[in-house]
Structure 1
Amino acid sequence: MKLTSTVIYGVPVLFVAALVQAEDTAQTSTSASQPIERVAVFGRQLNLLGQSSSASEGIVGAGEIEARPLLRTGEVLEFVPGMMVTQHSGSGKANQYFLRGFNLDHGTDFATTVDGMPINMRSHGHGQGYTDLNFLIPELIGQIHYYKGAYYPEVGDFSGAGSAAISLTDDLPYRQMALTLGEYGYQRLLATGQQQWQDNKFIFGGELQRYDGPWRDVEEDVRKVNAVGRYLTPVGNGQLAVTAMAYSNDWNSADQIPERAVTAGIIDEYGSLDTNLGGDSSRYSLSASYVDSDWQASAYVIRSRLNLFSNFTYFLDNPVDGDEFQQVDNREIWGGKLARDWHVAPFGITTDITSGIDVRYDHIGKVALYHTKARQQIGTVRDDAVDEFSSGLFGKLEAELTDDLKLRLGARYDYYNADVDSDNTLNSGNANDGIWSLKGGLSYLVSDDLELYASAGQGFHSNDARGATIKVDPATGEAVNKVDLLVRSTGAELGFRYYDRRYINLSAAFWYLDLDSELLYVGDAGTTEPSRASRRYGLEISAYYWLNDAFSVDAELAVTRARFTEDETLEGKYVDGTVPWVASAGINYEPDASGIHAALRLRYLGKRTLDSFKEHEADATTLVNLSLGYAYQDWDVKAELLNLFNSDDHDIDYWYSSRLSGEDAEGVEDLHYHPVEPRMLRLSVSYHY
């Protein structure tokens, strides 16, 4: 007798199995004549009533990731409702992220992990919290579990706006070979596979990508290589996973450009004023995780390298050789996490308790900033080595006060210690700090379909260690003030989730967040810029509707108000980079059987505030992407039209001073922008075996 197996991906197997059994959504078959049944679980369709801590928590499954057309790998974070992902430079560097009234730059105030490995880089050469996701292969992502707000004690640094835990798949739905060709020299070759013997499993994948881009004066010449190997085996009552990842990339880049250069006809909107920009990056990691009913453990070692050349102001600081600069970041990271669960019933109250510890050590052998000309060093702004250690203790309690009312309490304590060895001994030194974070919430199950939430919590982000030991400006030699190593954030929200098992998943939250200071180390200048305390609040709504098993629509809307709460009259009250309106919507047709599948997606990034007096605003950006494919037996052919209506909007905008050749020494304040990439067609063919 041959048993039919069910392949489930998108959420942890044990969790999905419990939901599937409870809701009778899948059945196994004992008929030898039936083929293997493959069930793709979509995270949005999971019933999180009674499972989640807030209305701002959710799960994205592999099925959803596979269906959505993506221009860049980093756009997988746009599955977090209200998140927008853009780019202001070459394809090889980290993206620019927007969420909850934050211009998160390259990741500050949003913590991202992949299989337990932290992605945000502390004290990084290009910016605090630098989050580069180019090493991911989207086809190997099993799920994204996102947590907006600072209400989760398992999450420490960069947790103000929220976090996302990305998990690699534990079970591929199929093996595949795929080739994608597109306009502007886009080429991608993908191979994924899975081998299983007894209870052991090996999952692997590889990706080669080339891309020249639409830029007039610069051929981007992206050369990306990714490789993943993942071994899973049962150990005791749980599962051990060991994962090796390797990534290498080099590219040329077209950075943001001043509007006046386009208006004057010096360049067009796809042109460049400095054609020597770009960089190279690499990341190699080895990680292990173990999970059973009581224990969760993980450990990792990461080797990361970045070499980046940029020029944003042209001839403002150096009228002879120009303002091109090089940023270098070379580091190794070691760390891990251990957590234990207990299930008790004091006074007859069913209670789950979790406690744990996480540690991380960054050995940054070189983090440096140099003046360059045509990628040749002509001067040193600063050249440092940093050793930064952190440890966090956390605990949480979930008590079922009644059948419908749950109380959640959490706390964590984080300690940081950093040593900076600078080329200027005045800026060398040690900094350390500790911070408590308290969190809590209530949830009330009104009915089988409706749950209400109230959540509150404290979070924090770390500042660059160099800013916590600095005494003099590395460029001018003038005395400057140090900044705190850790910065507090405090937030709360009220929300609800409505889940109809057949048709709809609807959630909404009204939230606010106070930040003690928006202090950031500015890697582009080698200095720390102090800022002021701020407050943000807003409303977020997410709705997912399934007309039938194959056809679905979704819509997400986020409205935010962000203001400084100090010195509002003198310096202006508006938080630079704030996006008041963000929206996205999609229509998806994904039948289980062979045939046509399609996805249409709209994303809207509203007008952005570019200065604290709101004298300058960037126009809104609207993009539409279309995917249309046909599956037959083991073959799948797909066409993607990115930027379907050929919008000439901007990916990102800034307002600052720069100087073109021949302009006055003080430069000109102007809008600087990076255009969205024009409409492009990509064709893919994949063979599943």
Structure 2
Amino acid sequence: MKPRILSILYIVLLAPTLLFAQETGTLTGTITQEGKAPLQDVNIYLPTLSRGTSTDKLGRFKLTNLPAGQHDIHISFVGYAAVQQPVMIQANETTVFNATLKPGDLLLEDVVVQDQLVQETNTLSQVDIRLRPINTSQDILRMVPGLFIAQHAGGGKAEQIFLRGFDIDHGTDINLEVDGLPVNMVSHAHGQGYSDLHFLIPEIVGTVDFNKGPYYAAKGNMTTAGYAAFHTRDALDQDMIKIEGGRFGTFRNVNAITLFDKQDGDRRSNAYIASEYFRTDGFFDANQNFNRLNLTGKYTAYLDGNQVVMVGLSTFNSRWDASGQIPERAVAAGDITRFGSIDPTEGGETSRSNAWIKHLKTLDNGAVIENQLYYSRYDFNLISNFTFFLNDPVNGDQITQREARNIYGYRGSYTLDHTLGGLPLQSEVSAGFRYDDVNDIHLYHTRSRKVSLNDIARGDIDETNLYAYLQETLHLTHKLSINAAVRLDHFTFNYADALTPGYDRQSVSKATVSPKFNISYNATRKLNVFVKSGIGFHSNDTRVVVAQNGEDILPKAYGVDAGATVKVSDRLLLTASAWMLYLDQEFVYVGDEGVVEPGGKTQRQGLDLSLRYQIMPWLYLDGDVNLTDPQAKDAPEGEDYIPLAPTFTSIGGLSFRWKNGINGSLRYRYLGDRAANEDNSVKAKGYFLADAVLKYTRPKFEVSIVAENLFNEAWKEAQFDTESRLQNEIDPVSEIHFTPGTPFIFKTSISFFF
């Protein structure tokens, strides 16, 4: 009797261990698109186990500790037909399940609410790319929820950006990348972080990875309000020729051609080239004479199923004339129309050529190692006149800003999925550098664009950023994940002033540490709750750094977000977050004047709301509302407004797709009134605009009509409270100076696919 009792106790105690060991297995695989490359961020879900994940950069996924037996697997990705079928998990074994997805209808039900720390690319980017009309590079930036842009120099200058209560100028507080190439120009002739995206051809954009706040270790300098990383297509879905024309002498041609597409077993290689030519006279009284040419090529090779090599080459050139910003008083007096100019000789030219190579490889232990080298050659020449005859009553105040720059960079990372105490853990370590060699960065006083009167500032800049970061993502349960990271950035700033009597090179070095901590909880397949926190920074201009002897040159940004994404139904997706961002003291180099100005501490807090609703299988509604309370902390009450900081913005619209090929959208943009100076005594007027697109799409061609500013609203795109003096005035006047927004304009296009 006693031995029998002991045997029963032994079986009872040992059975769970044996059961666990015998009844769990691993599921892994690769998801690819039909006849093309692997797909990243595909949703993998096992509904009976409430377990899910998403694919990585190589299209791979892995789920561990799954009970042995048969389970249904659901695979979905926006714009592709979903796959649902049973899979058998073998005990103590790894089951391999590969799948190929075919293009399908755009269904919101295919969007899965994923762990914020697992999914690398923001899910909504794919939805928005397919639903929103993309006509120019500017439209790409507008896809980021809550982001507004304003052009105020003839179409060729980088746009002014607004996001989360920031007037970001041309990119000081948003990190922008294209295929791993940095877009932001540090210590730029016109402004810190200057970001010109016009070298990107909209039709070859594949995905847009975007997020807000300083919470991401992989994103360093300028990532305070957020970041946007654009990824071009690895392969073309089809070759195309597009011809577009419209009012004001507007013409655009886009070509995208596959050079070759080969497959030999596990090896596959693809290469394509694309071009864009754009020109317009513009809607101003003075001809804009705007011309832009883009050429780009990309090669992608998948080797033996565990390696990828990518090579990219591109070049871009544009030139234009500009009417510039004009004072309200000149329009009110009838001296000029709202499309007129005070100095019609403004304008500019710029060019950029890029080359990069990237290599990804899976090691024997399952880790992924990634390396990228890049180089950019950049030239810039901008002629502006903001104050007219304020400083020089005879010749006027026209200035020219010029630079020639070489950018060299490298980034490498090692990512490993392993366990910690039996819990899944992903570790990533990364390091890299960026070196900017800026030659003859020059600000000088000119007349009529050609006559050089005197130098204001001139010199050479060398700026180096070395960085490294470590981040760990631990899955405490199948629903709860935490991410902890720390990033180290070291800068060396060198400036040789060419206007001093002797050779004078000033050098300053500084380092900063940026910790991050994020939590994600997938309560259900339809609800994710998150809290994000972290410290970010933006560097100041090298000329600021040496002028301030290295003090307060890397001002920090402290941020926290708390929110949730909920899929209310198969057709309704909502995201809401409350956030706060606090910025340290900073110094600002005013490139238009060649001086250093102090700036104080600021605090911003707000609420972001996003809605995506599929009203019917063919009809979609999307909307974004962003509320912000920006405040200068060191200023007295009533004088603590942040000039031009947006407080209320909203973007949205209706899109439809009929099976007969007719599709289109009706969209709106709203920007509320905002303070134009520190005491809110001068306001920048808001606007409400509506645009429409109508297309007829067939397998071999597409015809489209685009109408912008449907109601012909007389709106002001860029606005500044500026002190200026006209030639016939004795005393200067401070008031709103503006660039008029686009009047009603229509464009038609035809595209051929083959």
Normalised TM-score (structure 1): 0.92
Rounded Cα–Cα distance in structure 1 between residues aligned with 2:541 and 2:465: 13
Alignment of 1:596 with 2:648, yes or no, is: no
Aligned residues: 667
Q: What per-residue deviation string (whole Å, max 9, x for no partner) do you get for residues 536-591 of structure 1?
A: 0000001111234432110000000011111325x921111111001011111134
Residue of structure 1 equivalent to 2:316: 247
Which of 406, 417, 433 is 1:359 aligned to?
A: 433
Is the 2:552–2:586 Cα contact (8 Å) retained in structure 1? Answer: no
Question: Aligned in 2, Cα 1:546/1:255: closer, same or farther, shift over 3 Å?
Answer: same
- Which residue pairs with 1:261 in the alignment? 330
CA distance in 2, matches of 1:183, 1:122: 37
Kept in 2: contact 1:8–1:39 (CA 8 A): no
Cα distance in 1, alignment partners of residues 294 and 314 from structure 2: 8
Deviation at 1:171, TM superposition (A): 2.4
Greater mean alpha carbon deviation, residues 169-178 or residues 291-300: 291-300
Secondary structure of 2:139's counterpart equals helix
What is the match of residue 646 of structure 1?
A: 712
In structure 2, what is the equivalent of residue 537 of structure 1? 605
8 Å contact 1:490–1:515 — kept in the other structure? yes
Contact 2:109/2:571 (<8 A) preserved: no
SS at 1:505 equivalent: strand
Shift of 1:79: 1.1
The alignment partner of 1:469 has SS state of helix
Match of 2:643 in 1: 576
Displacement, 1:336?
A: 1.5
Matched, 1:300 2:374: yes
Amino acid at match of 1:104: I
Residue 131 of structure 1, aligned match among 195, 201, 225? 195
Distance 1:158 1:88, change over 3 A: same
Deviation at 1:21, TM superposition (A): 6.7
Q: Specify the alignment match of 1:627 in structure 2.
A: 693
Per mean C-alpha deviation after superposition, the further-off stretch among 552-561 and 510-519 is 510-519
Q: Label 1:654 to 1:546 Cα distance change in 2 as closer, same or farther (>3 A).
A: same
**How far apart are the structure 1 equivalents of 2:83 and 2:243?**
34
| Letter of the 2:235 counterpart | D
| 2:461 aligned residue | 386
Q: CA deviation at 1:38?
A: 3.4
Aligned match for 1:322, one of 358, 383, 396: 396
**Match of residue 26 from structure 1:** 81
Determine the structure 1 residue equivalent to 2:654: 587
Name whichever of 36-45 and 180-189 sits farther off: 36-45
Q: Using a 3 Å threshold, how does the CA distance of structure 1 residues 78 and 255 change in structure 2: closer, same or farther?
A: same
Instruction: Give, in whole Å, the separation in 1 of the partners of 2:390 and 2:104.
Output: 59
State whether structure 2 residue 725 is matched by structure 1 residue 659: yes
How far is the alpha carbon of 1:308 from its aligned partner?
Answer: 0.6
Q: CA deviation at 1:41?
A: 7.0
TM-score by length of 2: 0.84
Which of 586, 592, 604 does residue 524 from structure 1 map onto?
A: 592
User: Which range is displaced more, 392-401 or 491-500?
Assistant: 491-500
Residue 614 to residue 93, structure 1, CA distance change in 2 (3 Å): same
Q: What's the offset of the Cα at 1:5?
A: 3.1
Per the alignment, residue 208 of structure 1 pairs with: 277
Q: Distance in 2 between matches of 1:94 and 1:231?
A: 28
- How big is the shift at 1:528? 1.7
2:490 is aligned, of 404, 415, 434, to 415
CA offsets 1:356-382 (integer angstroms, 9 cap, x no match) = 012100000121101000112111101
Post-superposition offset of 1:37 = 5.1
Q: Which residue of 2 aligns with 1:557?
A: 625
Structure 1 or 2, whichever has the larger Rg, is 2
Q: Structure 1 residues 276 and 688, CA, compared in 2 at 3 Å: closer, same or farther?
A: same
Amino acid at match of 1:674: T
Residues 260 and 70 from structure 1, CA distance in 2 versus in 1: closer, same or farther, beyond 3 angstroms? Answer: farther
Higher relative contact order (CA 8 A, sep 6+): 1
- Whether the 8 Å contact between 1:86 and 1:652 is mirrored in structure 2 is yes
Deviations 1:328-366 (A, max 9, x none): 021000001101111221211211111101210000012
In structure 2, the residue matched to 1:33 is none
Q: Does the 8 Å contact 2:108/2:614 carry over to 1?
A: no
493-502 or 126-135, which moves further after superposition?
A: 493-502
SS in 2 for 1:530: strand
Give the one of 427, 432, 441 matched to 2:509: 432
Counterpart CA distance in 2 for 1:12 and 1:526 is 46
Deviates more, 1:514-523 or 1:621-630: 514-523
Cα distance in 1 for residues equivalent to 2:663 and 2:56: 28
> 1:678 aligned to 2:743?
yes
The one-letter amino acid of 2:547's match is: I
Mapped partners of 2:275, 2:38: distance in 1: 19
Alpha-carbon distance between aligned partners in 1 of 2:416 and 2:135, rounded to the nearest angstrom: 44
Equivalent position amino acid for 2:34 in 1:
S
Does the 8 Å CA contact 1:10/1:40 hold for their aligned counterparts? no
| 2: CA distance, partners of 1:184 / 1:500 | 45
SS of the residue corresponding to residue 360 of structure 1 reads strand
Does the CA contact (< 8 Å) of 2:510 and 2:550 recur in 1? no
Contact 2:514–2:534 (CA<8 Å) still a contact in 1? yes
Q: Which digits, 9 at most, give the CA deviation of each residue in 1:153-198, with x for residues without a partner?
A: 1111001101011101112221110100000010001101223022
SS at match of 1:38: coil
Report Cα offsets for 1:124-154 as digits up to 9, x if no partner: 0010000000101000101100021111111
Superposed displacement of residue 400, structure 1: 1.0
Q: Percent identity?
A: 29
Distance in 2 of aligned mates of 1:484 and 1:63: 41
- For residues 49 and 657 of structure 1, the distance between their equivalents in structure 2, rounded to whole angstroms, comes to 51
Aligned amino acid, residue 74 of structure 2:
A
| Helix, strand or coil at the partner of 2:295 | strand
- Counterpart selection for 1:403 from 457, 467, 478: 478
Pick aligned residue for 2:239 from 149, 169, 175? 175
Q: Within 1, Cα distance between the matches of 2:539 and 2:73?
A: 43
Partner of 1:476: none
- In 2, the alpha carbon distance for the partners of 1:406 and 1:114 equals 29
Displacement of 1:446 in angstroms is 1.4
Q: Deviations over 1:420-467 (max 9, x none)?
A: 011234974111110000100111111121011111100000000011
Distance 1:543 1:192 in 2: 33
| 1:193/1:205 contact within 8 Å kept | yes
Q: Distance in 2 between matches of 1:43 and 1:110?
A: 29
**Aligned partner (choices 143, 146, 158) of residue 79 of structure 1:** 143
Describe the SS at the equivalent of 1:578. coil
Choose the corresponding residue for 1:157, options 204, 221, 236. Answer: 221
Q: Give the C-alpha shift of residue 626 in structure 1.
A: 0.3
Contact kept? 2:401, 2:443, Cα under 8 Å: yes
**Residue 365 (structure 2) aligns with:** none
Structure 1 residue 493, shift from structure 2 partner: 1.1
Offset at residue 48 of structure 1 (A): 4.4
Matched, 1:5 2:73: no
Deviates more, 1:40-49 or 1:187-196: 40-49
Partner deviation per Cα, 1:80-122 (whole Å, 9 max, x = no partner): 1111111122101100100010000000110001000100000
SS at match of 1:151: coil
Query: 2:653 touches 2:665 (CA, 8 Å); kept in 1?
Result: yes
Point out where structure 2 has 5 or more consecutive residues left out of the alignment. Answer: 1-31, 43-54, 62-71, 85-100, 363-367
- 1:187 is paired with a residue whose SS is strand
Partner of 2:20: none
Once residues 522 and 180 of structure 2 are traced to their aligned partners in structure 1, the CA distance between those partners, rounded to angstroms, is 31
